[in-house]
Chain A
Amino acid sequence: MTATGGAPPAAALDVMRLREDFPILAMEVRGKPLVYLDNAATSQKPRSVIDALSHYYERENGNIHRGVHYLSERATEQYDRTREAARRFFNAKHAHEIIFTRGATEGINLVAASFGQAFVKAGDEIIISTMEHHSNIVPWQLLCERTGAVLQVIPVTDEGELDLDGYRALLGPRTRLVSVVHVSNALGTINPVAEIIASAHAVGAAVLLDGAQAAAHTAVDVVALDCDFFVCSGHKMLGPTGASVLYGKESWLERMPPYMGGGDMIDHVSFERTTYAGLPARFEAGTPSIGDVVAYRAAFEYLEAVGLDAVAAHEHDLLTYATAQLQDIPGVRLVGTARDKAGVVSFVMDCAHPHDIGTILDGHGIAIRTGHHCAQPLMRRLGLAATARASFYLYNTRDEVDALVRGMHHVREVFA
């Protein structure tokens, strides 16, 4: 290795070798090789995650934090190892700042309910943005209905970027919490979250980052970002469905009441007075999705071994390539042209509705997402009902982008 000074450049991914780790990528769909470009919806899983899941059920299955027997101890140990893996992955200070949830949606609902109960009163303000997923809109609407707090919305530009002046104008002494998406699932916009967090902290507001798209594709350091809460989606980052992480700063979490009541989250229960467990158990009532959490560790380890900088560089290459190719197809218009974008290309076509594009591409074995991407207010802002969206991950190739482009030419033949 030669000394170059500074950070070494991200090594190019050996994508063809990585693809062999993902059994599903070898399959055919509708008689054609699968081209999976719906990674913003869910990622495919490497063999190590699939094996960890079956190994857990074959050799380790027991309920956690309960029994004195071997399997309960074993399951508990494996469950907590994922917590430590998540702590390391996101560079949190303490493992007890990592709360396991079913998904990002549950993490946001937990914060809305629990932070809301402790810190949000009538007349207080919660700020979200126009480009949020419904899961980062509706929990706050519910909180506002319950408390009389006011929901404020950061505008977006025609290019699909947050209007930061508009954001700063909304911040004030009544702002309690800012909850924004790190990377937009619908457009791929990477938001300037460090700046957003610093401005919020300047008025004493906490910040939740919806990292459902970010965590899979870019290195996230919750301490460096100084976010108060961060949620991610395990199944979008190579993990099984049913296991995700909510990170919360200890200083907030220890002052927040439980979200759900039940087993595991208590210290002592009596009909006169129940006391609650400390962190993180207080926020993990009932038997969690243990097997999924255990296998989730294999996903963290896989991403660490590949390196998120290399993943981001590879996706950026695919994004640049796909953007140029798609723009060349007559009648195609890209939606979301922010300066800083992750590997998501959203587009519409003059002669074909996104739904029809999706069906034609499916006939070629190509999986994309079509619709409003659970972001109806954003679609309305952009004057659209729906878009077609291709989203890339570490195992996608330029050849697959070519297949998408060929498919789009077929769409034109059918509808133009």
Chain B
Amino acid sequence: MDLGALYQDVILDHNRKPRNWGELSHPARHAEGHNPMCGDAITVWVRMGGDVVEDISFTGSGCAISKASASMMTQAVKGKSREEAALVFESFHAMVTGKHDAPAADPTLGKLKVFSGVARFPTRVKCASLAWHAMREAMAAPSDTPSGA
């Protein structure tokens, strides 16, 4: 079992220094993703500007795979339209579940290809997709009430 295929340097780097970490202030919406198997929880915060992901961030606790995946997800979908973000989600999900025929040739994945090794670790697929499901829910969630209201 090649652990290096799972724990690539880019993933370890995002685990140590997560990007877009923290809560977003109003107006934003958020949703929590929860992995009942390990108790990990990641909350994703999204601010939409019309149809576009204007800003996105995350908080919570999780393993290296779930944190790095959340971190790289925020980079991958920031500035994308709702529809474009959904397409990235689909490609990513297909890749980590081993259902993507040719992830290497898929331009929507970009840097996210470092997660292709996850498909060989079935117990870690949930970790890799945790933040992505939370993002989808956050985008569908009602707007947060402004603090003090």
Interface residues of A (CB under 8 A from B): 30-31, 352-356, 359-360, 362-363, 370-372, 376, 379, 385-386, 414-415
Contact of B3 among A354, A360, A371, A379 (CB under 8 A): A360
User: What's the minimum C-beta distance from A172 to chain B, rounded to whole angstroms?
Assistant: 34
Are A385 and B39 touching (Cβ within 8 A)?
yes
Given A356-B65, A359-B121, A371-B39, 4 more contacts at CB 8 Å? A353-B62, A355-B40, A360-B3, A372-B39
Q: How far is the CA of A187 from the CA of B94 in the complex (A)?
A: 38
CB-CB < 8 A to A363: which residues of B?
A: 1, 3
Q: How far is the CA of A354 from the CA of B40 in the complex (A)?
A: 11
Q: How far is the CA of A355 from the CA of B66 in the complex (A)?
A: 10
Are A352 and B41 touching (Cβ within 8 A)?
no
Are B1 and A379 touching (Cβ within 8 A)?
no
Are B63 and A353 touching (Cβ within 8 A)?
yes
Q: How far is the CA of A143 from the CA of B123 in the complex (A)?
A: 34
Interface residues of B in 1-43 (CB under 8 A from A): 1, 3, 6-7, 12, 15, 37-41
Q: How far is the CA of A341 from the CA of B78 in the complex (A)?
A: 50
CB-CB < 8 A to B39: which residues of A?
A: 371-372, 376, 379, 385-386
CB-CB < 8 A to B41: which residues of A?
A: 385
Can you list 14 A-B contacts with CB-CB less than 8 angstroms, sorted by A residue number? Answer: A352-B64, A354-B38, A354-B63, A355-B38, A356-B63, A359-B121, A359-B123, A360-B7, A370-B38, A371-B37, A371-B39, A385-B39, A414-B7, A415-B12
- Given A353-B63, A353-B64, A385 and B40 touching (CB < 8 A)? yes
Decide if B127 is an interface residue (CB 8 Å cutoff): yes
Q: How far is the CA of A356 from the CA of B40 in the complex (A)?
A: 12
Decide if B124 is an interface residue (CB 8 Å cutoff): yes
User: What's the minimum C-beta distance from B47 to chain A, rounded to whole angstroms?
Assistant: 27
CB-CB < 8 A to A370: which residues of B?
A: 38
User: What's the minimum C-beta distance from B118 to chain A, rounded to whole angstroms?
Assistant: 11
CB-CB < 8 A to A354: which residues of B?
A: 38, 63
Q: How far is the CA of A233 from the CA of B127 in the complex (A)?
A: 30
CB-CB < 8 A to B12: which residues of A?
A: 414-415
Q: How far is the CA of A363 from the CA of B62 in the complex (A)?
A: 20
**Could you say which of B12, B40, B121 has the most chain A C-beta atoms within 10 Å of its C-beta?**
B40
User: Top 9 A-B pairs ranked by shortest CB distance?
Assistant: A355-B63, A353-B63, A372-B39, A385-B39, A30-B1, A371-B38, A363-B3, A356-B64, A363-B1
User: What's the minimum C-beta distance from B66 to chain A, rounded to whole angstroms?
Assistant: 8
Q: How far is the CA of A359 from the CA of B3 in the complex (A)?
A: 8
CB-CB < 8 A to A415: which residues of B?
A: 12, 15, 64
CB-CB < 8 A to A385: which residues of B?
A: 38-41, 61
Residue of B nearest to A31 (CB): B1
Are B6 and A372 touching (Cβ within 8 A)?
no
Are B64 and A372 touching (Cβ within 8 A)?
no
CB-CB < 8 A to B1: which residues of A?
A: 30-31, 362-363
CB-CB < 8 A to A355: which residues of B?
A: 38, 40, 63-65, 124, 127
Q: How far is the CA of A116 from the CA of B65 in the complex (A)?
A: 45
Q: How far is the CA of A277 from the CA of B64 in the complex (A)?
A: 56
CB-CB < 8 A to B124: which residues of A?
A: 355, 359
CB-CB < 8 A to A376: which residues of B?
A: 39
User: What's the minimum C-beta distance from A386 to chain B, rounded to whole angstroms?
Assistant: 5
CB-CB < 8 A to A386: which residues of B?
A: 38-40
CB-CB < 8 A to A362: which residues of B?
A: 1
CB-CB < 8 A to A372: which residues of B?
A: 38-39
Residue of A nearest to B67 (CB): A353
Q: How far is the CA of A35 from the CA of B62 in the complex (A)?
A: 26
User: What's the minimum C-beta distance from A138 to chain B, rounded to whole angstroms?
Assistant: 14
Q: Mark B61-83, 1 if CB is under 8 A from A, else 0.
A: 11111000000000000000000
Interface residues of B in 95-148 (CB under 8 A from A): 121, 123-124, 127
User: What's the minimum C-beta distance from A379 to chain B, rounded to whole angstroms?
Assistant: 6
CB-CB < 8 A to A356: which residues of B?
A: 7, 63-65
CB-CB < 8 A to B37: which residues of A?
A: 371
Q: How far is the CA of A355 from the CA of B124 in the complex (A)?
A: 9
Residue of A nearest to B62 (CB): A353
- Given A371-B38, A372-B39, A414-B12, A359 and B6 touching (CB < 8 A)? yes
Q: How far is the CA of A405 from the CA of B64 in the complex (A)?
A: 21
CB-CB < 8 A to A353: which residues of B?
A: 40, 62-64
Residue of B nearest to A360 (CB): B3
User: What's the minimum C-beta distance from A276 to chain B, rounded to whole angstroms?
Assistant: 38
CB-CB < 8 A to A352: which residues of B?
A: 64
CB-CB < 8 A to B6: which residues of A?
A: 359
CB-CB < 8 A to A31: which residues of B?
A: 1
CB-CB < 8 A to B65: which residues of A?
A: 355-356
User: What's the minimum C-beta distance from A227 to chain B, rounded to whole angstroms?
Assistant: 31
Q: How far is the CA of A356 from the CA of B7 in the complex (A)?
A: 9
Residue of A nearest to B64 (CB): A356
**Could you say which of B37, B63, B124 has the most chain A C-beta atoms within 10 Å of its C-beta?**
B63
Q: How far is the CA of A370 from the CA of B65 in the complex (A)?
A: 15
User: What's the minimum C-beta distance from B16 to chain A, rounded to whole angstroms?
Assistant: 8
